[in-house]
Structures are given as structure tokens and as C-alpha cells.
A and B are shown apart, each in its own frame.
Chain A
């Protein structure tokens, strides 16, 4: 798809003015003045990007969590589930964004479904690893004291798997923020859209790309904070 074709796409959010003369803008430079003036135009793609990422990670987490519990309870389901999420993960993202359009239509859902599929592998692998890493003696003691399977899962296995689960969420968030920059191919908007509209204009690319980076950094910091807050026992051990 050529840049010209993209420029005419009807869902374009950021208007980029015609440029002429010897100005910074005309040279596709990094123009502080332009950035300050046009920053507001990136609000909508940014919000779309956040919404798309959160929606995909949350739905992906719910699905991966359910699958992980199933695999934990019924060991024989582990391999097929794991293989499926791996296959989904290997589909090139741009292909997925286009392939989904005939099925669910162009737009948010096409982007979200592809992103959800990508989170499954990371999240499923991390949740099951976390559950598997609970030491056998801890589980034995729990069962020996009369915890039922459900109590064992809720009171011991899941709390002890939180470090791996949060690590998975951090990777999934960062990966999804990056992949969502391509979701405009599916018509789902996001910060990739202004980038693609004028990929040679440094100011434009720096703002949109910078916002992506900033988003990834902030979400990672938040999850890091949650990790520290949620794991007093890990912190106690480290000190």
C-alpha cells in the first residue's frame, strides 16, 4: 500500500498542513513551534491507542487466565492450548490485521482481536509457569492441612504465581502498545495512523512515536509499582 493511498484514507485524524518554502516544516525537520501548536491533534489517536491496548490486554488476560486454569486442572489440555497460542503468536501482525477484516469488518474489533491473539501466548505461558513454580512441599502442606483444590488455587497457588503473572502482564502490555501502532491497518486507529500519514516529517514521527514510548514506559512503571505493592513477601526476602 502506498503512502498516497493511505493519505486519502477517510479515518485520518491528524491534518498535516501543506508545507512550502524554506521553513523547518518544509524541511521535514523537528520543529518545536509546530509540535506545541499541533500536540492537541494527537489526543484522539493516543486515546484510541490506550483503549485498544487496555481492551486487548484485559480480554487477552481473561481468556489466558481461563485457559491456564483449565490446563492446570486438566494436564492433558496443556500441550494443545500451548501449541495453539504459539501458532497464533507466529502469524505476522500485518497479515492478521488484513485477514480479519473480511470476517469481523474493518475497525476496532479487527485490530483488537489480532492484538488479543498475540497476548495469549505470553500471558498463558506466564500464568502456567507461575502455577507450576509453586513448590511441591508447599502444595503438599496445604492439601495435608485440609485445603480443598479451590482453596489451594485461590489461597496458595495464585497468590504465589503473582510475580510471574505480573511479569507476563508487563511484557504483554509493552508488546501490545508496540503492535497497536500497526492496528490502523485494520482500521482501528491509534498512534500508528499519524505516523503513517507523514512518515518523513520528523516532528510528526517524533510526537507519535514518542507518545508510544511514553505510554509503554508509564504502563510498565505502573505494573512495576503494582508488583512491589502486591508482593510484600518478595520485598521482605530481598531486604
Chain B
């Protein structure tokens, strides 16, 4: 049977974008035209709930459940907002870019449907500032959708009218956190907000707001067109649909593939990415961005979805994997991650602002051959001090996931940095010591 790839089957592999004409020829915007006669807002909500669609930004929260918190009916506050989270700044992650560059109208259609389902009449696409090509193509797609009447006037046969704006950000990782994103859109410094209240009830400018990852929204037109049973069957597991999996690092063929949810990491690594590059061996991988825990050889046959990875192992995250090979120092690898987190911490809460640079300094001392056993214990303690519940948002706990798992799986390597007094992977010891 032909493998179905609803999100990407028409994307041009030469990097050019799909035009409006191509999009419509292949069934694009068909769902919107069916709304009046076939589907009310509740029907769209029901289809999405029954599909088992989970948020593709990394959290994996059930989209239908999230939508269930939005106040509906004539007494609901107005306007309500739907926001596409396109602040794809999680290192190792490039799946939303592939979609937005290759098929910008798919996002517009997904947002119209989400807006219709929730009676949210205004949408924003929050795009990371570095995605200039996505910005150009989305700007054009939005303008075309206005010209065609999909935006800015009542949809055929309904009273629902949707406006959509593109917001290009200016580069800051924390904006991917949904409440920081909301502050950013309001023109405030993008620090996270306390929850509750949750954005679905009190979000942008105090109004009900649903923030969805870009890939999540691309799924909605297909669910509406083909139904929730079809959608569930696309997956190999209880989580519905396909997923864009990706791989970077020293593998033969780094890239992305849309595959059934529940595909194993081994299949992605060996069958699609062609295995490890010549001369290097696999040691571990981060399954989905750098806020996820390492997985090693023993985990490669786990179905990669939101429900099958045991919590003590980790979580799927964005499903764009980063591979650690035996020519790369695991301590140096984790140092790179922690420097990123320390730099991108918004600085709002003390444990994150102070703790992450501290972690980075300790890891630097390992790489420079200055670390002691006490430093190893300090790293262990930080994974507890910066655990969930100790910080204002999820950034620092996310930063601890790769560190904690590295300390578990690659502890020998940390200890060798101490005993050798230099990084075993650096060509020469950083500091030559004279032993008397």
C-alpha cells in the first residue's frame, strides 16, 4: 500500500514553493468551501477531537482537549484569537520551515479552520525572525487568500469572517513558550506569564487565545477532508496521523521524512538517513530538539510517538533527532546545549538565570581539564534544582533533560575528563600539567 503523506506529498523537493493554483488543483481550500453546507464549528471541533491529533511543537497535548477549554457561545468574550507558533528556534528542528516554505497556503487553510471551529475571528502567524523565505512566501499566500475571499470576508454560506496577520519576530528562543509569545505579540518584553489563567481563557489582550504549533495546524484540513478514522489509521499507534521526522548530525543522509507516527528511531536512522557516516559509530540521539533526554541503542526500537516513550526514558519533543557519534565528545555536546540555554534564558526567574550559566561554567571546566569529582556532584544537583516546579517556565527543566540523561549514559566520559585532566576528544590536552 502506498504510504500516505498528506502534509508533504505535494511539496516540491527543489525548494520552490507551491503556488495557489497548484494548491487548489490538489484539493486545497476544499474544506473551507464545504463549511457552509456540511460542517458547523462543532463538527470541526469534533473531528479534531476524534482524530487524536496531538500538538506537534513538542508538548504532544491533545488539540481537541485544548480547544475544549475555549469559552464558546454568544456570551464568550470577543474577539478570540488563534495563533500559529512558528517560532521554530529549538536547535535541531527544521520541520515547520519545510512546511511553511514549501506549502504556505496549507497553514492559512489550517488557521481558517481552527478559527472557524473556535469562532476566533483573528489569527496571527508568529514567525521566527530568521525565516525570511517563509516570511516572503507566507506574506504572498496571505495576500492571495484575501484576494480569493478566504480571508477578510464571510466564508461562503456562513457569517464567519477571518483575518490573518503575519508577525515576524526578531530572534529569541523563549518566544516559543506560548505565554511569552503572547507577551511578544502584545509588544511587551517576552517573558512567560504565570498559569493559570491559561491562554485559552485569558490570552492575547486578555481574550481567549489558542496557540498551536505550525505542523499541528497543517493537519487540520486533511482531518476535515478525510475524517478522523482515516487520520487515525495513518499512524501505527494510538496517536493519530503522520509526523515529520528529521535527523541531523553525522549520518549518511541528513534530512526530513513524513512518516506514520510511531515509526522507530532505528528506521529513521538506518532506512531513511542511511545509517551513520563512514567511520563513525552511533552513541545516542536527542529525539526531538535539545530539550529532550538522550536515547541510546537500547531505545532505538521504541515507537516514536507521544504515548509510547516511557516517561523515565524521555519524550518525543519535535521528532527532529540530533545524533551523537563516537567522534564527538558528549561533554562538549552538552556544553554546547547548556551555553545555548544560558544565553536564551529570559532572565525572569533566578534559578534559570543563575543556574544555567553555572552549569555551562562547570561543563567548561570539564572540557578544559579543571573539573573535580565535586563538579560532577554539582551537575547532578543542578538537575534537581532546575527540575520542573523550581522555575517559572519549562526552559530550565528542558535544559536539564539532556544533561541528566548524559550524566546517566555517558558518566564514564565525564569521569575520564576528570582523571585525564583534559578532554579525551581534543587533539591535545588544553593544559599540559607538570607532574612533580
The finding on whether chains A and B are genuine partners in a shared complex, rather than unrelated, reads no
Q: Which B residues contact A (CB, under 8 angstroms)?
A: none
